[in-house]
Amino acid sequence: MSPELLEVKNLNVSFATRDGPVHAVKDLSFQLKPGEVLGIVGESGSGKTQAAMAVLGLMADNGRVSGSIRFEGTELVGMRDTHLREIRGDRIAMVFQDPMTSLNPYLTIGDQMGLVLKEHRGLRGAAAREECTRLLDAVHITDPASRLRMYPHELSGGMRQRVMIATALLCRPALLIADEPTTALDVTVQAQILALMSELRANFGTAILLITHDLGVAAGTCDRLLVMKNGECQEQGPVEEVFHQPKTAYAKKLLAAVPRLDAEATRPPPPVAEPVVRVNNLKVHYRIPQPGLFAPDRTLRALDGVSLELRPGETLGVVGESGSGKSTLARAVLRLVRPTAGRVCLLGRELAQLPEQDLRPSRRDMQLVFQDPLAALDPRMTVGQIIAEPLEVFEPSLASGDVTARVAEAMVQVGLDPEWRNRYPHQFSGGQCQRVGIARALILKPKLLVCDEAVSALDVTVQAQIVSLLLELQAQLKLALIFISHDLAVVRRLSHRVLVMYLGKVMELADADELYRAPKHPYTKALMAAVPIPDPRLERERVKALATGEVPSPLADIRGCVFRSRCPVAFGRCGEEEPGLLTRDKSGVACWLA
């Protein structure tokens, strides 16, 4: 037997489609030793997931695999499905991206884990329960025995991913394939899961095949790295070598495009001018009816007292984890939801409580760019029609020739060829769709542009292009920009000031340089610590002060500071009084210790 656990040679995966065969993986070879972590990185469509699926023998009906996959000395390509099934789940286990969709909502955690034990190890009853409890404990789930009786929806996202990992480890597999295991999770939870995976590898000696688009994640976790593009291996080697002496042009380009938290990116302050938008103590509360006849409604505080000011040409970055109220802030400022209280003043006009018809004239001054570039474009309109729509609404008297000219102008401005205007959105790539979205937002020359996770769904190289485009357009048009993202590194490149949110409240507001150099609030510190740095040496040396636990339910009535339950430095006063945002010179920290 060879010392390699997994040996893949000249692997080819192709799919038969109506338009001829599509080659997803071309001539891929790699080895994996027991206990080693190999990272496969690449942008979307690079074939990294298909390569892993081929190892598991999970192919779509029209898929064809050729080449050789030897696992523990056994050839897997061409093996009968019944034999494969014995290996799958037992010797090779898999963790998927979305823990919610890969757990069966109708089975309790205990039942799902029990199925694996019954199938592969013949364990059932009390013995199976005991084994499940032991593994849940190993992935640091508190009170494991009672969790076994819970259903997936009763657990948080991070907890579900822990359950998935525990399930995968039930049979002590020699190989764990993790396909984007942390992509759907918040950064603080991602850091916890990555730490867990490293720990389990040490304890169980499991080899891990980690598939990720995030070079930061790969830097901290992997021993070796394989860079893929268009189904081909571009580069392969020890992780430090790939990061510090990349050989191929593509690897260099990919590494250069990754936004870094520790990058120097000072933006000159915008000229002093009258603010474009002034938001004062903005609140959005939802009443959630409770089951039961006399149960009083509960209040969900999606946004709870946020104030900000923005000058022309200035960018305010808004960061926070899911449920922090970032998107609600965007929607309340743009009046897509009606605020419960507070003021939004755009160019001197008070918008917060205006009825929709009176509001409409102000819409031309404020625009939104969406997260999912394709979903934000009507699939049945040509991109020309999509970009022209705001123009037709606000300048209905414009002759059709002028509309065409203005659309062409806007398309050139965002780097699209005007000849493409008769195409439909699905014919464009994600980055191009986002350019269409930006062109639509800018055709009326608005004063305020809100980008809600506008680059989060894009590959890093495309992300870098869109960020550059936004910077360029901002300089040209003196745009005031609210840039919302969960990714602190991207926010850094664009922002003059940064607003850190948690559970609908502002935790910290500061100049970008200062915030990234010396974060003051414990939550900001925890967020920064959790962001992986795409540099294996630095990443391994970092001492991480990770936030424990996960974001509490926004329905919970929290006395005192909202971050208290996860704060490493909380003390008596935090539970009694809520720290206000102490503002000095447009910066502030909501913490008693600041």
Partner 1 sequence: MSAPAVGAASAATIPEAPRSLWSDALATLRHNRAAMTAAIILGLLVLLVVFGPLLSDFRYDKPNWDEIAAPPLTQGHLFGTDSLGRDLYTRTLMGGRMSLLVGLVSTLVSLIIGIAWGATAGFLGGRVDRVMMRIVDLLYALPFMFLVILLMVLFGRNILLIFVAIGAINWLDMARIVRGQTLGLKQREFIEAARVSGVKPGRIIAKHIVPNLLGVVVIYVTLTIPQVILVESFLSFLGLGVQEPMTSWGVMVSDGALEMETAPWMLLFPALFLAITLFCFNYLGDGLRDALDPRDRSGR
Residues that bind partner 1 (CB under 8 A): 18, 334, 336, 360-361, 363-364, 366-368, 370-372, 375-382, 384-385, 389-390, 393-394, 400, 404-405, 408-409, 412-413, 415-419, 421-424, 426-429, 431-432, 435, 437, 440, 465
Least distance between partner 1 and beta carbon 150 (Å): 29
Nearer to partner 1 by C-beta: 230 or 587?
230
Given a contact cutoff of 8 angstroms between Cβ atoms, the answer to whether 176 and 164 are in contact is: no
CA distance linking residue 433 with residue 425, whole number of Å: 6
Residue 587 pairs in a beta bridge with 584
Cβ closest to partner 1, residue 135 vs residue 470: 470
Q: How far is the CB of 384 from partner 1 (least distance, A)?
A: 5
Min separation Cβ 445 and partner 1, Å:
13
Least Cα distance to 493 among 318, 175, 145, 261 occurs for 261
User: 354, exposed or middle or buried, with CB in 10 Å at 0-12, 13-18, 19+?
Assistant: middle
Judged by beta carbon, residue 436 or residue 488, the one nearer partner 1 is: 436
Q: How many C-beta neighbours within 10 Å does residue 61 have?
A: 6
Using the minimum distance from each CB to partner 1, give the nearer residue, 451 or 488: 451
Distance set, CA 536 to CA 36, 195, 385 (Å): 16, 15, 47
CB distance 88 to 57 below 8 Å: yes
Distance CA 54, CA 211 (A): 13
Q: CA 380 to CA 240: how far, in whole Å?
A: 48
Shortest approach of partner 1 to residue 208 CB, angstroms? 34
Question: Under DSSP, is residue 543 helix (H, G, I), strand (E, B) or coil?
Answer: coil
CB of 489 to partner 1, least distance (A): 23
Distance CA 160, CA 99 (A): 6
Q: How far is the CB of 331 from partner 1 (least distance, A)?
A: 9
Question: Whose Cβ is closer to partner 1: residue 19's or residue 274's?
Answer: 19
Q: Name the residue nearer to partner 1 (CB basis): 412 or 556.
A: 412
* Separation CA 86–CA 102 (nearest Å): 20
Residue 121 and residue 114: Cα distance in Å, rounded? 10
Residue 383 or 498: which CB sits closer to partner 1?
383
| Cβ closest to partner 1, residue 249 vs residue 569 | 249
Instruction: For partner 1, give the closer residue by CB, 234 or 371.
Output: 371
Smallest gap from residue 273 Cβ to partner 1 (A): 25
Q: How far is the CB of 399 from partner 1 (least distance, A)?
A: 13
> Coil, strand, or helix at residue 593?
coil
CB of 432 to partner 1, least distance (A): 7
Q: Write a three-state SS string for 495-512.
A: CCEEEEEECCEEEEEEEH
Residue 377: CB minimum distance to partner 1, A: 6
Comparing CB distances to partner 1, the nearer of 286 and 592 is 286
Nearer to partner 1, 162 or 440 (CB): 440
Q: Which residue has the tokens 């039961």?
A: 292
Q: Which residue has tokens 């602190």?
A: 488
Q: Where are the beta strands (DSSP E) in 390-479?
A: 448-452
Q: Which of 483, 381, 480 lies closest to 422 in space, CA to CA?
A: 381
Q: Give 490's contacts (C-beta < 8 A, 6+ positions apart).
A: 259, 455, 463, 467
Calpha distance 346→369 (Å, rounded) = 18
What tokens were used for 21?
Answer: 């065969």
The answer for 70, left when phi > 0, alpha when psi is -120 to 50, beta otherwise, is beta
In whole angstroms, how close is the CB of 231 to partner 1 at the nearest point? 17
**CB of residue 482 to partner 1, shortest distance in Å:** 13
Q: How far is CA 29 from CA 4, 48, 227, 241, in A?
A: 13, 12, 12, 19
Whichever of 448 and 507 has its CB closer to partner 1, that residue is 448
